[in-house]
Homo-oligomer: A and B are copies of this chain.
Amino acid sequence: MSIKNVCVIGLGTMGMGAAKSCIKAGLNTYGADISDKALADLKAAGAVKVAKDAREFASELEAVIVLVVNAQQVKTVLFGDNDNGLASALKPGTIVMVSATIAAKDAQEIAAGLQAHSLEMLDAPVSGGGVKANQGAMTVMAAGKKELFERMQSVFDAVSGNGGKVYNIGEEIGKGASVKIVHQLLAGVHIAVAAEAMALAAKAGIPLDIMYDVVTHAAGNSWMFENRMKHVVDGDYTPLSAVNIFVKDLGLVTDTANSLHFPIPLASTALAMFTNASNMGLGREDDSAVIKTFAGITLPQKK
């Protein structure tokens, strides 16, 4: 039987989008977050129940999607201070889909913790941003037992069925996390090199709107260049995804590479660029603000 009762933990941009997509798809949707505003927003959108602590309705759930920021938050939500978190309150057999961006090692530790409570885990990071999450068009990179994919089909249809895609990376917990880590390596370096290229163009006296137009119509384009350098051309660094997110994610990338004894020269350089941007006080600006680490250039101002 496919899942009907699902709870999203962490109602940020991605989590809120995922939860609303579940409501639209007709699932009995629950939500948990520390923000009263987010809870009220989801309740108004048609959630069955919302709460700051999902233990309040844990016994009603068949699946949980955990979309908090990092591994530490995942562990706190599920296991609390003394194994008294949500995991202790869920019915045996409930599926916990861990969708935060975390290291493979953390995914394996979390799986072991869940197994102690007879809970099932999908190691299933997501990608696509808030807009796609809201449209039910997320990309899901999932590892876990085959039968879990079947039971989760209704949830996958809800969050990805409208133009997204669910990848089955295999049974081994940690493989989903690793695929996301490799993806973030590309995403982070693409933003940093987009900034480096536009900074060089500015130094060479090339109008940045023309440079943007050329690149987005040629083989030098990337999804991130096209998305983020628009912010630079417009001089608008309102954060959609902040510099500090890539300090965190490229940190995870380098941790993962180090644990595999593997060199990643470009990602290591990009991490240094984002870290420097953060130390310049730009951590909460849009990640494209990494371009401001290049001195001696004049960038477009917001109109």
Please state if B139 and A266 are interface contacts (CB–CB under 8 Å).
Answer: no
Interface size on A, residues (CB 8 A): 67
| A294→B267 CA distance, assembly (Å) | 14
Residues from chain B with Cβ under 8 Å of A207 in the complex: 170
Considering the complex, which residues of chain A in the window 122-151 have a beta carbon less than 8 Å from any beta carbon of chain B? Answer: 127-129, 139, 141
Contact of A127 among B204, B220, B262 (CB under 8 A): B220
Please state if A267 and B193 are interface contacts (CB–CB under 8 Å).
Answer: yes
A214 in contact with B179 given A185-B197, A194-B186, A220-B184 (CB within 8 Å): yes
Please state if A189 and B186 are interface contacts (CB–CB under 8 Å).
Answer: no
A169 to chain B, nearest CB (A): 6
Please state if B214 and A175 are interface contacts (CB–CB under 8 Å).
Answer: no
Nearest 10 interchain pairs by C-beta: A222-B222, A186-B220, A183-B220, A178-B204, A189-B193, A187-B220, A127-B218, A139-B218, A193-B266, A182-B201
Please state if B210 and A169 are interface contacts (CB–CB under 8 Å).
Answer: yes
Cβ of A279 under 8 Å from chain B: no
Copies of this chain per assembly: 2
Residues from chain B with Cβ under 8 Å of A273 in the complex: 265-266
Considering the complex, which residues of chain A in the window 255-303 have a beta carbon less than 8 Å from any beta carbon of chain B? Answer: 256-257, 260-267, 269-270, 272-273, 294, 296
Stretch at the interface among A21-29, A37-45, A108-116, A223-231: A223-231
Please state if B183 and A264 are interface contacts (CB–CB under 8 Å).
Answer: no
Residues from chain B with Cβ under 8 Å of A165 in the complex: 217
Residues from chain B with Cβ under 8 Å of A294 in the complex: 262-263
Q: What are 30 A-B contacts with C-beta separation under 8 Å?
A: A104-B204, A127-B218, A127-B220, A128-B218, A139-B214, A165-B217, A167-B213, A167-B214, A169-B206, A175-B206, A179-B201, A182-B197, A182-B198, A182-B201, A182-B206, A183-B220, A185-B193, A185-B200, A187-B219, A192-B266, A193-B193, A196-B264, A200-B257, A219-B224, A219-B227, A220-B224, A222-B222, A222-B224, A262-B296, A269-B269
Known A165-B217, A178-B205, A266-B273; 17 more pairs at CB < 8 Å? A128-B218, A167-B214, A175-B205, A179-B210, A182-B200, A183-B197, A187-B220, A190-B193, A190-B220, A190-B222, A193-B193, A199-B262, A204-B256, A204-B260, A219-B223, A262-B296, A263-B294
